[in-house]
């Protein structure tokens, strides 16, 4: 095992030197800042940082670090449990790396809890890093600024979220809104909730059209909601039929289009859907995304449905999500306004117009 101590002006500089001398696999064992008085007098205090790092070439070779760090653990181990030791080492490394990452961003100890809170709630650490940088440089310009706190961050984050709900109806002709998104995201249920909002609460002329000819029962699901609300439901199997149905609904205030529940991995699907929807001059497209989705799955969905031109993002299943960083990450990455949030399975109750304050509250509380 090679051990290296590096002293530099900042954590990022020190980490850079550790990486260049020991490589990407180096483990950070400790970090500390060293304060000193440059001119030995009453002048300003300066600080340097010190990082001690190690590179484990051969995990079976005992090293001085084992004596100071890991030997305490090995004392109560009956045999040489190499796997366990490696696991503990990597745990120590990952814990330190989190702190380390934050420090390399120039964060003070006081900010680490906020950093960890946001990252722990699913906000992408690179997004957090960029935020800290922007706020930091803005705050530095203000004289006598007390520094960055949680409330600063919350305000900053709120400013990065756009919300454009509810759906605004056009005066000349029906507003056509299509919900697209992966299977099971909640498109059909949300269409029914929206139809109820317009038909029952606002007394508007509403129609529902489904392009979902693939899933058994998709039609029945919408048809039964339609019957309850006295809202017509049609099914279009192709472009021509969709055009004919849309003509029939010329007199409506809003036409809500439900789409196929096919996998977002089906590459030809978006092209086919775009071709059907293009018979209407303008369709407002809402990407329906579950708040419980994994970050990488959500990213793939945005990519997959992007060719359709996504106007709004509608997050469902907020009642089932454990943390809400995904909402913020999507907002920052795609800069597409949110329209609605859904919060349960009940039709029509569990839907609300998206609000920035709600996202912030969900992330911080
Ligand atoms: N917990 C919860 N379940 C929901 C919500 N929205 C839809 N669902 C459920 O998710 C499942 C799939 O919904 P569905 O509308 O058929 O999804 P689609 O395939 O996108 O049309 C159903 O069991 C719905 O009741 C929501 O906001 N919260
Ligand atoms: Mg459906």
Quick one: three-class SS letters along 95-129? HHHHHHHHHHCCCCHHHHHHHHHHHHCCCCHHHHH
186: region left, alpha or beta (phi > 0 left; psi from -120 to 50 alpha): left
Tokens (6 digits) for 218: 């998709």
Place of tokens 């392009």: 211
Q: Whose CA is nearest to atom 13 of ligand 1?
A: 186
pLDDT of residue 200: 95
Atom of ligand 1 nearest to the CA of 343: 27
Contact 25, 55 (CB under 8 A): yes
Half-sphere exposure in the Cβ direction for 132 (13 Å, CA):
24
Give the ligand whose atoms come closest to the C-alpha of residue 189.
1
Contact 55, 1 (CB under 8 A): yes
Domain boundaries, the chain: 1-104, 106-160, 175-364
Q: Work out whether strand 2-8 and strand 45-55 pair parallel, antiparallel, or are unpaired.
A: antiparallel
pLDDT of residue 216: 60
What CATH number labels 175-364? 3.40.50.300
Ligand 1 contact, 264 CB (< 6 A): no
Instruction: Give me ligand 2 centre to Cα 362, in Å.
Output: 27
Residues 6+ apart with CB under 8 A from 204: 169, 198, 253, 254
**How far from the centroid of its chain's Cα atoms is residue 70's Cα?**
37
Concatenating the DSSP letter of every residue in 38-86 gives TTSSSS-EEEEEEEEEEE-S-TTS--HHIIIIIHHHHTT-SS--HHHHH
Ligand 1 contact, 350 CB (< 6 A): yes
Angstrom distance (rounded) from CA 340 to CA 101? 35
Q: What is the DSSP letter of 197?
A: I
Ligand 1 contact, 188 CB (< 6 A): yes
Residue of 178, 189, 286, 362 best suited for mutating to test ligand 1, as the one with most atoms within 8 Å of CB: 189
Per residue in 33-77, pLDDT (tens digit) is: 776 655 544 455 567 777 888 887 644 433 333 333 323 322 333
Place of tokens 């002293």: 7
Instruction: Give me ligand 1 centre to Cα 281, in Å.
Output: 29
Query: Which H or E run contains 335?
Result: none
pLDDT of residue 171: 85
Residue of 178, 188, 219, 345 best suited for mutating to test ligand 1, as the one with most atoms within 8 Å of CB: 345
Ligand 1 contact, 220 CB (< 6 A): no
Tokens (6 digits) for 318: 């907020």
Cα–Cα distances (Å) from 146 to 26, 107, 115, 140, in that order, read 36, 14, 18, 10
pLDDT of residue 251: 96
Task: Report, as ranges of residue numbers, the positions in the chain whose pLDDT lies below 50.
Answer: 40-42, 58-80
Angstrom distance (rounded) from CA 287 to CA 182? 9
Tokens (6 digits) for 270: 């978006």
pLDDT of residue 165: 94
């Amino acid at each position: 095992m090679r051990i290296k101590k590096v002293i530099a002006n900042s954590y990022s500089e020190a980490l850079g030197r550790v990486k260049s001398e020991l490589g990407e696999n180096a483990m950070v064992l400790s970090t500390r800042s060293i304060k000193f008085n440059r001119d030995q007098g009453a002048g300003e205090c300066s600080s340097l940082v010190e990082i001690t790092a190690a590179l484990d070439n051969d995990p079976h070779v005992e090293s001085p670090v084992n004596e100071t760090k890991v030997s305490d653990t090995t004392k109560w181990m009956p045999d040489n449990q190499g796997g366990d030791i490696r696991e503990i080492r990597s745990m120590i490394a990952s814990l330190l790396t989190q702190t380390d990452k934050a420090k390399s961003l120039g964060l003070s100890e006081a900010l680490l809890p906020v950093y960890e809170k946001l990252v722990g709630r699913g906000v992408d650490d690179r997004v957090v890093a960029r935020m800290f940088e922007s706020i930091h440089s803005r705050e530095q310009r203000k004289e006598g600024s007390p520094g960055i706190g949680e409330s600063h961050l919350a305000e900053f984050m709120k400013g990065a979220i756009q919300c454009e709900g509810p759906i605004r109806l056009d005066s000349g002709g029906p507003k056509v809104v299509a919900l697209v998104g992966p299977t099971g995201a909640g498109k059909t249920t949300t269409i029914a909730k929206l139809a109820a909002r317009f038909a029952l609460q606002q007394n508007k002329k509403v129609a529902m059209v489904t392009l979902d000819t693939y899933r058994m029962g998709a039609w029945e699901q919408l048809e039964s909601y339609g019957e309850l609300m006295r809202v017509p439901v049609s099914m279009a199997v192709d472009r021509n039929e969709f055009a004919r149905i849309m003509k029939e609904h010329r007199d409506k205030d809003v036409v809500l289009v439900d789409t196929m529940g096919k996998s977002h991995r089906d590459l030809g699907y978006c092209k086919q859907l775009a071709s059907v929807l293009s018979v209407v001059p303008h369709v407002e497209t809402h990407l329906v995304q579950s708040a419980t989705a994994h970050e990488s799955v959500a990213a793939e969905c945005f990519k997959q449905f992007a060719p359709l031109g996504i106007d709004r993002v509608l997050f469902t299943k907020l009642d089932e999500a454990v943390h809400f960083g995904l909402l913020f990450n999507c907002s920052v990455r795609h800069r597409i306004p949110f329209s609605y949030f859904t919060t349960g399975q009940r039709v029509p109750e569990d839907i609300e117009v998206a609000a920035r304050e709600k996202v912030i509250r969900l992330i911080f509380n």
